[in-house]
Amino acid sequence: MKDGLGEAAVERIIGGLKGAGADFSVDAFRKDALTSLHRLELKDRVRHLIFVMGQHLPSSFPKAAKILGKIRDHWDEGDPNDNLRSFAAWPITDYVAEYGLNHPDIALPLLRYLTPMYTAEFAIRPFLECHPELTYRQMVLWCLDSSEDVRRLASEGIRPRLPWGRQLPSYIENPADVIALLENLRDDPSDYVRRSVANNLNDISKDHPELVIETCQRWLADAVAERQWIVRHATRTLVKSGRPEVFPLLGFTNRPKLIVSPPVLSTSHLVLGEALGISVEITSTSSQKQYVVIDFAVHYMKANGQTSSKVFKWKNLRINPGQTIKLEKSHPFKPITTRRHYPGEHKIEVLINGKHASESSFALHIS
């Protein structure tokens, strides 16, 4: 991904700044920008190019902001076949956070202007920390903006646990203002915005599950189809963790009546690198049709002899009265960078609506 901020991106930054009226030596900017750039990873490249811009743009932020406030009219969008082409504008939006933090009255409207080039969701966060009331009021107004990019910025920028972004501890502790802001976007016409709303709620559910469940219950009282989608997507972590209150909320059967066989495994001794076959039979004992979530958890052996579990999705299942359904799948056990495997007894646990239903064990061998 770091290649999205390579030589071509530097040329586009130079062209945009010069077109917007910046007065600097192109050769000097290019030399400074490309010096050591190839040795840096993605976020270090962003920081490096912000520093270079700071060396070549006016030292007065208000003067630099006037230049950046014209850059969209002179911006080269890049190769449409390049999925990373928007990265070239990342240093431009984050420049505002680095040099404009003491000028929020200028910087916040500038971020609104720049965010269609590359989302300003990272750049807005220092302003939420340093100027919380002013920035929050501005973001509430952005919820009404005609641009879907700006409306999405309102949601994405205030996500307490935004991936790649700095966390917002005050909103992690008390997300009431985040929920209040999202109320303005819950019926947004843009899927781009609604997806951000759902992701934001899903983040909040990791710290405040009851609050998110209460919010979703309230939103579903008069929900249109789009809001129903938000609720389903926003509660995916709650479903995965087996919160019992969330399943009826999503239309799944409360207290399903099922007989679940112990999972049949393809082998009782598996070598790392192989795949484990898993099958299970589920029989309904209810007189009503039931709708349930079938997941399975792998209980991995740790170095200390204890186990830790990870839940994997299997199937959302509609089962008729008295019906028996057999589910099968293959799950790979292979070396990955995010998990170290240890030999010993592992367990496969079947979960129905997040609750234990049955289990079987096998031994993993490290060849």
Check residues 157 and 248 and name the one with the higher pLDDT.
Answer: 157
Closest listed residue to residue 299, CA positions, set 325, 323, 276, 329: 276
- 182, 204 in Cβ contact below 8 A? no
Instruction: Answer yes or no: is pLDDT of 30 > 80.
Output: yes
Note the pLDDT tens digit of each residue in 264-314. Answer: 999 999 999 999 999 999 999 999 999 999 999 999 999 999 999 998 989
Pairing state of beta strands 258-260 and 275-284?
A: antiparallel
Q: DSSP state, 325?
A: E
Pairing state between β 324-332 and 269-271? unpaired
Degrees to nearest 5, angle at CA 261 with 260 and 262: 120
Least confident of 3-7, 193-197, 200-204: 3-7
Distance CA 258, CA 284 (A): 5
Report the SS3 class of residue 19: helix
| Residues β-bridged to residue 281 | 326
Calculate mean pLDDT across residues 125-130.
97
* Phi, psi of 355, rounded to the nearest 5 degrees: -110, 150
The confidence score (pLDDT) of residue 219 equals 94
Cβ count within 10 A of residue 144: 11
Of 71-80, 170-179, 238-247, 251-260, least confident by mean pLDDT is: 238-247
pLDDT of 186 reads: 94
Q: Which of 66-70, 75-79, 90-94, 258-262 shows the lowest per-residue confidence on average (mean pLDDT)?
A: 75-79
Mean pLDDT over 182-195 rounds to: 96
Find the mean pLDDT for residues 38-54.
Answer: 95
pLDDT average, residue stretch 112-120 = 96
Query: What mean pLDDT is predicted for residues 212-240?
Result: 90
Average pLDDT, the chain: 94
Q: Which domains does the chain have, with CATH numbers?
A: 2-249 (1.25.40.290), 258-365 (2.60.40.10)
Query: pLDDT band for position 241 (50/70/90)?
Result: confident
